Chain A
Amino acid sequence: MKKIFLGIIMSLIAVTAFCAAKLNVSTWGFNLDLLDKNISKPFLEKYGVEIVREVGNNSVRLTKLISQKSNPVIDVVHFVDYYAMLAVKEGLLQPIDVSKLKNYTEIYDFAKDPIGGNYGIGYTVYSMGIVYRTDKIKGPITSWKDFWNKEVAGHISLPDITTTQGPALMMLFNEIYGGNAYDPELKAAFEKLNQLKKNVVTFYKTSSELINLFKMGEVWMAPVQRFSWGQFLDTGLPLAWVTPKEGMPGFLNVISIVKGAKNLEEAYKYIDFMISQEVQYAEAMDLVDSPVNVNVTVPQDIAEKLTYGVDHIKSLIFYKTDFIVENYDKWINKWNELIAQ
């Protein structure tokens, strides 16, 4: 009996030893099937390394990194730029040696070192506009101010302050109603939000949650990030995308290497792979991520659904990430005071 048991243990050890090398990636749980198709499978074929994903929104994943700081499980992490800065502040990331990245020269300059100190490489850029149900709302919807229209009251959703786009939206509201995005108190934005809060169905925390709210008919209009537009179209609902006249905030997602990562070599391969022309092209064609690799060209109909082209990217509003990082805790507290009546 004991021998059999020992045999089983030994063979288990043997099997795990022969398994593919692994790379632990922390990222968003959006478009996972497409990430498998465009990234995991080709990466495994090319390098023999299996990608293991841990998914969640920015804040949840940052917390996990902090709690595992002394013995990190994650090798590579995807964040929106200001969350990557928060992670740097917490001492969770290590600088990236860009000389090890073959494809580094192929990406736009703004993506090369967006948070400073080479702590992150930008790999996709996206905007935030308004999506609304054309059958329910006569409109016309042209402005961020339209969220305060009587017609849409009770049928709107806004991002929670803890989402990727939450702080940017509040800064934008402050710019529209207070004349300045860079107010540490965001006084005008919070005052306007106070008028609006009773008309908001719920403050969504993830893109998937928002899509469900649209599907259930709970929500007819919301600020939406460009990378999820393809999924919104897949719902088959009569939806339209609006680029508001005040402009659209832009976001840059970055990949970083965790300090003390156990699979460093694989981590570099992964980052290089993520910014390569073929992966960036595949992700763009599936409307997952808009490319930052200058050698990616996509047909017109795809380009229209992405955040694509030098001029288009130039027109986006990129708020200073260090300003968000500096005031973030204060905003979350104010938000809580206001929303959780």
Chain B
Amino acid sequence: MKKYVIILPTLLFLLVFFLLPIFLIMVESVYQPQKGWVINKYVQFFTQRVSRVAYTRSLTISLLVTVVSLAIGYPSALAIVNIANDSLKSLLMTLVVFPLMTNSVARTFSWLAVLGREGLINNLLISLKLIDSPKRLLYTPGAVFFGLLQLFLPLMVISLVSALENLPKEVPLAAKSLGANALNLFTKIYIPLTVEGIVAGSTLVFTGCITAYVTPAVLGGSRVLMLSTLLYQKTSVTLDWSMATVIAVVMFVTTLAVNYLSRKISSLGVSKQ
């Protein structure tokens, strides 16, 4: 019993300030005091083109960012873990964490300087004679993608590094001595043993992407409407709070579903070994 007492403060806090509000929002999205139980707002959400487009766009971009950050993050994490020099290792880790210490608004605005018509990329391409007039890079889905990728890649790397740190150094060595090639080593040793880190990192990145507001708002603007910017518009502009509630629930359920699926997939992958 005693050992459960120490988690009480956190449990209480989460119950009052997180679980209860989420529950209330869930109820509010399907129950209206005057009308009783209704699902018309959900029907509206999935039938209206605006919300459908915003939802699929949010999903696509978030999944892409998650997959790409995993693809880039894994080799980097592996490299960092295998560095023998401790001070170099901690320097690299600091560099990884560094972007997380800068404000996301400031970071997003620096993208404007990079992607702008007179920004770094356009000027570079023009000076290399690759294009003759500046291209519009801002206010496109691509701009949102890169903005989010830069924002959440560190979370992926950190999750993977901590997972790889826990992997005994002898295991890969033993596998090699038993004749495992690089591919085998990766699919049979590394991935199954770091699956927790992969799931944790993917969940963090995906959740971050689907709920991010500043990056889509600044880099996507009104042309690239996403779920979070639509939610903001519903609450702050059109005052359609019942629709906003539905969007919030859809976001929440989507995140849970993706987390559940990634666990499922990874456990299937592991059990096959």
The answer to whether A and B come from one shared complex is: yes
Interface residues of B in 32-57 (CB under 8 A from A): 49-50, 53-54
Q: Is A218 an interface residue (CB 8 A)?
A: yes
Whether A340 lies near B236 (C-beta < 8 A) is no
Whether A340 lies near B223 (C-beta < 8 A) is yes
Give the residues in chain A near B238, CB-CB below 8 Å: 329, 332-333
Q: Is B235 an interface residue (CB 8 A)?
A: yes
Q: Is B263 an interface residue (CB 8 A)?
A: no
Whether A340 lies near B225 (C-beta < 8 A) is yes
Chain A window 190-213, contacts with chain B (Cβ cutoff 8 Å), 1 for yes, 0 for no: 000000000011110100000010
Q: Is B112 an interface residue (CB 8 A)?
A: yes
A249 to B101, CA, bound (A): 46
Q: Which single member of A216, A337, A339 contacts B222 (CB below 8 Å)?
A: A339
Whether B237 lies near A216 (C-beta < 8 A) is no
Interface residues of B in 193-228 (CB under 8 A from A): 221-225
Give the residues in chain B near A216, CB-CB below 8 Å: 112-113, 116-119
- Per the CB 8 Å criterion, the residue count for chain B at the interface is 25
Given A337-B49, A337-B50, does the pair A202, B239 have CB atoms closer than 8 Å?
Answer: no
Q: Is B152 an interface residue (CB 8 A)?
A: no
Given A202-B222, A203-B222, does the pair A332, B237 have CB atoms closer than 8 Å?
Answer: yes
Q: Is B136 an interface residue (CB 8 A)?
A: yes
Chain B window 223-245, contacts with chain A (Cβ cutoff 8 Å), 1 for yes, 0 for no: 11100001001011111000000
Chain B window 14-28, contacts with chain A (Cβ cutoff 8 Å), 1 for yes, 0 for no: 000000000000000
Who on chain B is nearest to A329 by CB? B238
Q: Is B138 an interface residue (CB 8 A)?
A: yes
Distance in Å: Cβ of B125 to nearest Cβ of chain A:
15
A202 to B49, CA, bound (A): 20
Give the residues in chain B near A212, CB-CB below 8 Å: 112
A337 to B136, CA, bound (A): 23
- Report the 4 A-B pairs with minimum CB-CB distance, sorted nearest first: A340-B225, A202-B221, A217-B118, A203-B222
Interface residues, chain A, with chain B CB atoms under 8 Å away: 59-60, 62-63, 66, 154, 160, 162, 200-203, 205, 212, 216-218, 329, 332-333, 336-337, 339-341
16 contacting pairs across A/B (C-beta < 8 A):
A59-B237, A63-B235, A63-B239, A154-B136, A201-B139, A202-B138, A202-B139, A202-B221, A218-B138, A329-B238, A332-B237, A336-B233, A337-B50, A339-B223, A340-B53, A340-B225
